[in-house]
Amino acid sequence: MAKREHIVSYTVVELKALAAGEAKSDWAAAKAMSDEALEAAITSDDDEAGLEFDWSQPLPEPPKPKAVLNMRVDAELMEFFRGQGRGYQTKINAVLRNYVDRMKSRA
């Protein structure tokens, strides 16, 4: 098995501090910084490199959750879709979605 590179170890004291919500961030120092200095600090952070957000556009609506459905179908249909491998339920949903879209466009 390949060795994982980014394993982090904590002591019991450190874990308790993390669980209690204590952080290594110096919020007082951040609060004392000017907006320009804070922006420069964020920009120089490697974790923030290349991240840009355009907040002028509204975010799209999240998709509606799928409904749970238990139904009986022909065994041959299930064999076909399951034979396609992982994601067969998503494929069945796509077939049904296509049918509904076509029926709506005809109406």
pLDDT digits (tens, 9 = 90+) for 41-75: 888 888 777 777 777 877 778 888 889 999 999 99
Q: Are 49 and 42 in contact (CB under 8 A)?
A: no
* pTM exceeding the 0.85 threshold for the entire prediction: no
Q: According to the model, what pLDDT value does residue 34 have?
A: 93
Could you report the per-residue pLDDT of 1-44, keeping only the tens digit for each? 566 677 888 898 888 887 777 667 788 888 899 999 988 888 88
